[in-house]
Amino acid sequence: MFETIVALATAPLKSALHIIRVSGDDCFEIVSKCFSKDIKDIKERTLLIGHIIDEGKIVDEVVLAIYKGPKSYTGEDLVEITCHGSVLIANEIIQLLLSKGARLAVNGEFTSRAFLHERIDLIQAEAINDVINATTKEAKELSLLSLKGETSKLVTPIKTRIADILSLIEVNIDYPEYEDIEVANKGHVVSLADELVPVIDNLISNGEKGKIIKEGIKVALVGKPNVGKSSLLNALLGESKAIVTDIAGTTRDIVEGEINLNGVVLHLLDTAGIRDVEDKVESIGVEKSKDAINNADLVIVLLDASSELDEQDKEILELVKDIPHIIAYNKVDKTNKPVDGISISALNNDITPLKDAVYERLGLKEETFKTPSLNNVRQLGLLKNIKESLLKAKEDALNDLPIDLVSVSLHDAYNSSLEMLGEYNQTDISKEIFSRFCVGK
Ligand SMILES: Nc1nc2c(ncn2[C@@H]2O[C@H](COP(=O)(O)OP(=O)(O)OP(=O)(O)O)[C@@H](O)[C@H]2O)c(=O)[nH]1
Ligand SMILES: [Mg+2]
């Protein structure tokens, strides 16, 4: 029994039109109670013009897109009511539907229904959210591949191969009397791990790159005071966002900005120049700079090309030594001394060498943008679980543990592959995932 749910699918703002979605077992019956025509017996996809009526009074003229389940987004009977774009009208219609027996949908509930009715698997459901949230054309295109099911296809062969060996082991354990069945031995487990681990490693690597395309990276600009961090931020953004002066210690708080670098979003953080100071405000700023270093995916350390490296520079280089970083020399316009490294002039907007170096560091190739990948935290976490479980099974097999004990880890690997597609422990994961959706999706 699927209750009938209703929600506004468009943003609650004044606009040309609004769309209200209704889905569930009694959808057609409930909508018929408020519409000028009876839609209860509609058997195929239909578009109808008519009126929403409340106790004989017209609320609005609307268009109904009527989808007979299972051929609908949710897999259930579903109606999309397109009304005029007034929030007042949309609310009136929703209230009316509620009074006739529908209930308000929670975040992601329409997509969750699609998942429960097996219209889509969990990876596709996540992709819907990714498509909505994509901020670059590239991220959207990658998410559309997942929505089409291309990403799910990466998991299915892994799941099947593990299932092959697991079922062989189970048959051996359960039916030892069947002599014509191949005996499961440690060789099977070792070769399964040897076959799948490189495949999974490749998926993890592609997934990490896909994550960069989808979410971008956090880039912190750090250096001692006055090296030109804020000037660099402004040059990258193409606007004068951060205050620039020749006074050391100008920037106190983090200044943020975003750019799209060849299809990848860089979340830029301009930080306070790092030095030992007494000033209370500035020293808090310096602490924030250090936090920014630790939370960044990439740190750009800015040095002054026109002066010698000093203790402050060296301390900063020490701070970033275990964190992915790029060193760039700024103010090359001020010196004739040759610079060994990336040299730029933020003042003159001459920053292409740094942009190129950042992009190169991302390790993205043209085909990466077209490669479906398992790229969110959940999917990458599960890939790592599968890999670890396979390695554990291999180790147990090589240590000559009885095959039924070896199979415990194989079961873990198998369950993780099911969880990836949402075929295991459905309610828990789906609740978590669909809660991130907007209402009406
Ligand atoms: N000649 C030259 N001057 C620059 C360049 N970049 C920045 N400056 C100058 O250096 C001074 C400091 O620049 P800022 O961008 O404020 O330096 P900052 O690193 O943000 O300094 P704090 O916020 O104090 O840490 C300003 O006078 C800038 O005009 C450059 O490429 N060449
Ligand atoms: Mg600054």
Which pLDDT tens digit goes with each residue over 111-143? 999 998 999 999 999 999 899 899 999 999 999
Question: If you measure from the C-alpha of residue 363 to the centroid of ligand 1, how many angstroms do you get, rounded to a whole number?
Answer: 30
Which CATH architecture is the domain 221-349 placed in?
A: 3-Layer(aba) Sandwich (3.40)
User: What does the buried/exposed string (b/e) look like for 398-417 if buried means 16 or more CB atoms within 10 Å of the residue's CB?
Assistant: eeebebeebbebbebbbbbb
Residue 350 clears pLDDT 50, i.e. is over it: yes
Q: Is 166 in the pocket of ligand 1 (CB under 6 A)?
A: no
Mind listing the pLDDT tens digit for each residue in 43-54?
Answer: 999 999 999 999
Q: Give 8's contacts (C-beta < 8 A, 6+ positions apart).
A: 18, 19, 20, 21, 90, 94, 439, 440
Q: Indicate the average pLDDT of the chain.
A: 93
Q: Which of 15, 37, 123, 67 shows the shortest CA–CA distance to 382?
A: 123
Residue 171 clears pLDDT 80, i.e. is over it: no
pLDDT at 167: 84
Q: Is 347 in the pocket of ligand 1 (CB under 6 A)?
A: yes
Nearest CA to ligand 1 atom 14: 228
Boundaries of every domain in the chain: 5-116, 152-213+371-434, 221-349
Residue 426 clears pLDDT 60, i.e. is over it: no
If one counts every other C-beta atom within 10 angstroms of the C-beta of residue 194, the result is: 11
Give, for ligand 1, the residue of 221, 222, 226, 254 to mutate: max count of ligand atoms closer than 8 Å to Cβ: 226
Domain 5-116 sits in CATH at: 3.30.1360.120
CA 411 to chain centre: 28
- Find the mean pLDDT for residues 9-27: 96
Q: Which of 22, 19, 29 shows the shortest CA–CA distance to 90?
A: 19
Residue 431 clears pLDDT 70, i.e. is over it: no
Q: How confident is the model at residue 169 (pLDDT cuts 50, 70, 90)?
A: confident
pLDDT at 14: 94
Phi and psi (nearest 5°) for 298?
A: -145, 135
Which CATH architecture is the domain 152-213+371-434 placed in?
A: Up-down Bundle (1.20)
Q: Which of 426, 262, 283, 253 shows the shortest CA–CA distance to 357?
A: 262
Q: Is 249 in the pocket of ligand 1 (CB under 6 A)?
A: yes
